[in-house]
């Protein structure tokens, strides 16, 4: 699987390991399985 390095680097900057979610400012976002699949460009699990 080919990973978009620029997207991966951008996402890492917002990852909050203490809560296992993305944090943008004061907003915490927990991606769904579907969102992870879209980010990783997976058509099937």
Residue 19 lies in a domain: yes
Residue 27 lies in a domain: yes
Q: Residue 42 pLDDT more than 60? A: yes
Residue 24 lies in a domain: yes
Residue 45 lies in a domain: no
The string of DSSP letters for 4-24 reads: -HHHHHHHHHHEETTTTEEEE
Residue 23 lies in a domain: yes
CA-closest candidate to residue 19, choices 8, 30, 11, 35: 30
* pLDDT value at residue 45: 56
Q: Residue 40 pLDDT more than 80? A: no
Residue 33 lies in a domain: yes
Q: At 43, is the pLDDT very low, low, confident or very high (cuts 50, 70, 90)?
A: low
Of residues 45 and 25, more confidence is placed in 25
pLDDT tens-digit series, residues 9-32? 988 898 888 878 888 888 887 777
**Range of the structural domain that residue 14 is part of:** 5-39
Please name every residue paired with 21 in a beta bridge, in sequence order, or none if there are none: 16
Predicted TM-score (pTM) of the model is 0.50
């Amino acid at each position: 699987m080919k990973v978009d390095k620029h997207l991966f680097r951008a996402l890492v900057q917002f990852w909050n390991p203490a809560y296992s979610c993305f944090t943008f400012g004061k907003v915490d976002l927990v991606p769904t399985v579907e969102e992870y699949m879209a980010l990783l460009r997976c058509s099937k699990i």
